[in-house]
Amino acid sequence: MKFPDGFLWGTATAAHQVEGGNINCDGWLLEHLPDTRFTEPSADACDHYHRYGEDIALLAQLGFNAYRFSIEWARIEPEDGEFSLAALDHYRRMLAACHEHGITPMVTMHHFTSPRWLMARGGWEAPETAQRFARYCERSVRHLGDLIASACTLNELNLVAAFQSTGRAPSDEQIVRLPMRTEAARAMGIEPEKFGSYPWCVRSTSRDVLLEAHRLGAAALRSGPARFPVGMTVALSDMQAAPGGEANRDRARRHAQDVFLEAARGDEFVGVQTYTRDRFGPHGTLPLEPGVEVTQMGYEFMPRALEATIRYAHAKAQVPVIVTENGIATEDDTRRVAFIEQALAGVARCIRDGIDVRGYLYWSMLDNFEWLFGYRPKFGLIAVDRQTQQRIVKPSAEWLGRIARANEI
Ligand code: BGC
């Protein structure tokens, strides 16, 4: 099947996971606490902050035409209201590098990490954070807008809700008492309840702040001078019901997916980010069935989940879809190829059925810092030697690059 002209074929990354030395953000602080839940610190990550030029050139050489990356609020606004022209210029150079290589840049304004100073002001549990986020968007777009092809406001603003509803994250009550959260607040000399770090914030308080941040941030991005499509990205597992599990599944969907997808109505697109499925029974989420293939993240190998979530997101949000993340953590690159191949067949079926899917951005370009799990999970199409930072192209990168170039599967 031929994909539509202009279909975006690319990869995605996030600043904190690849740049290295992101010391002014809350994530860095959390990684270095004595009671940290992170297995290792992000450190130099993939040194993408300095090596973006060769990485973008490599993407183009492989055959890709798009790259989604995030810009780092903690660098651009290192103190409340103080903007760094040097940091903005850095991202301008990155955007320019994309254009030089024929790569369409999609920018994410916030991908999980926030400036430390924001935590002293209540983080994502404080209503004023929405306005502060919009101010950062407005300042950034004034400097970068003419080079941006499309933008995502917040990455997975439903993440806490999604993980809580599938038992992958602590409950609101447990989050408040997390030793890591209390310690981080102490290290900053602030009240423990202030440290509303995303995604360690209390869902019931942060949900409206995040939705408002999306609304105000999107308006700031659309306020010009440049014009480009703006949307949010949503973490979507394919939520399925086993017999008797319908009510539980529907409840989980309602609060982890629908509320957010409905808020995407009126945007220019919605970013679908899918890794697996979750099954619900009469008593809640069901464990994995014996013998199923499991990825390095402990997720069921389920590439078909992408098709189901594209259809679901499109029905709820009623706007065009971009697959802003889809991927697998595995040491076995042949399983990566199998995963992407089956996922893409689902994308093709959606397009054939008339759903406006505009791109597929594989997570991730590089083997990078996988948050709590450190550098062990391998999501990348390109490996990174942790001693030398040398890039090693995997067969899956060449395979997907060929599909991208041909624009067909
Ligand atoms: C996030 C990425 C993360 C990926 C794999 C997504 O939820 O946006 O930052 O690395 O999943 O776990």
Tens digits of per-residue pLDDT, 341-359? 999 999 999 999 999 999 9
* CATH code 3.40.50.300 for 8-404: no
This prediction has a pTM of 0.98
H helix intervals, 125-264: 128-144, 159-165, 172-176, 179-188, 203-222, 246-253, 259-263
Burial of 114: CB neighbours in 10 Å, binned 0-12, 13-18, 19+: buried
* Sheet of strand 277-281, all strands in order from the earlier edge strand to the far edge: 238-241, 277-281, 284-285
Q: What is the C-alpha to C-alpha distance for residues 339 and 327, in angstroms, rounded to an integer? A: 8
337, 395 in Cβ contact below 8 A? Answer: yes
User: In b/e form, how buried is each residue of 235-252, taking b as 16+ CB within 10 angstroms?
Assistant: bbbbbbbeeebeebbeeb
Percentage of the chain with pLDDT > 90?
Answer: 95
Q: Two tokens at 19?
A: 């740049």
pLDDT exceeds cutoff 90 at 224 = no
Is 300 labeled as catalytic in the residue annotation?
no
CA 55, chain centre distance (Å) = 19
pLDDT value for 235: 98
Position 37 confidence tier, pLDDT thresholds 50, 70, 90: very high
Pocket lining: 324 vs ligand 1, CB cutoff 6 Å: no
Q: Sort strands 104-110 and 66-70 into parallel, antiparallel or unpaired.
A: parallel
Range from 88-97, 202-211, 234-243 carrying the lowest mean pLDDT: 202-211
pLDDT exceeds cutoff 90 at 225 = no
Average pLDDT over residues 195-200: 92
Q: Is 234 helix (H, G, I), strand (E, B) or coil?
A: strand
Q: Is 70 helix (H, G, I), strand (E, B) or coil?
A: strand
Q: Which residues pair with 154 in a beta bridge?
A: 110
How far are the Cα atoms of 98, 153, 396, 407 from residue 263, in angstroms, in the given order? 30, 13, 35, 32
CA angle 170, 173, 174 (to 5 degrees): 40
Active-site option among 156, 300, 307, 325: 156
Cα(325) to ligand 1 centroid in Å equals 8
Pocket lining: 125 vs ligand 1, CB cutoff 6 Å: no
231, 264 in Cβ contact below 8 A? Answer: yes
Which residue's alpha carbon is at the smallest distance from atom 7 of ligand 1?
A: 235
Cα(83) to ligand 1 centroid in Å equals 28
Q: What is the C-alpha to C-alpha distance for residues 363 and 380, in angstroms, rounded to an integer? A: 7
pLDDT exceeds cutoff 90 at 192 = no
Q: What is the C-alpha to C-alpha distance for residues 198 and 206, in angstroms, rounded to an integer? A: 9
Cα(244) to ligand 1 centroid in Å equals 31
> Could you tell me which residues come within 8 angstroms of residue 298 by beta carbon, excluding any fewer than 6 positions away?
none
Q: To which residue do tokens 């549990």 refer?
A: 125
Position 167 confidence tier, pLDDT thresholds 50, 70, 90: confident
Position 193 confidence tier, pLDDT thresholds 50, 70, 90: confident
pLDDT exceeds cutoff 90 at 127 = yes
- Domain edges within the chain: 8-404
Q: What is the mean pLDDT of the chain?
A: 97
Q: 402-405, long-range: CB within 8 Å, 24+ apart, which pairs?
A: 402/63, 403/9, 403/63, 403/344, 404/9, 404/10, 404/62, 404/63, 404/64, 404/65, 405/63
If one residue of 39, 371, 372 were mutated to test the ligand 1 pocket, choosing by the most ligand atoms within 8 A of its CB, it would be 371
pLDDT value for 203: 87
Write out the H or E segment, with its range, that includes residue 323: strand 321-326
Write out the H or E segment, with its range, that includes residue 67: strand 66-70
Average pLDDT over residues 213-239: 96
pLDDT tens digits, residue range 301-329? 999 999 999 999 999 999 999 999 999 99
Average pLDDT over residues 226-240: 97
Is residue 229 left, alpha or beta, with left meaning phi > 0 and alpha meaning psi from -120 to 50?
beta
If one residue of 153, 296, 297, 363 were mutated to test the ligand 1 pocket, choosing by the most ligand atoms within 8 A of its CB, it would be 363
Q: Which residues pair with 9 in a beta bridge?
A: 360
pLDDT value for 361: 99
Pocket lining: 370 vs ligand 1, CB cutoff 6 Å: yes
Range from 7-16, 156-165, 171-180, 246-255 carrying the lowest mean pLDDT: 171-180
Cα(161) to ligand 1 centroid in Å equals 15
Q: What is the C-alpha to C-alpha distance for residues 262 and 177, in angstroms, rounded to an integer? A: 32
Position 194 confidence tier, pLDDT thresholds 50, 70, 90: confident
- State whether the Cα torsion 75-77-79-80 is positive or negative: negative
Average pLDDT over residues 82-87: 98
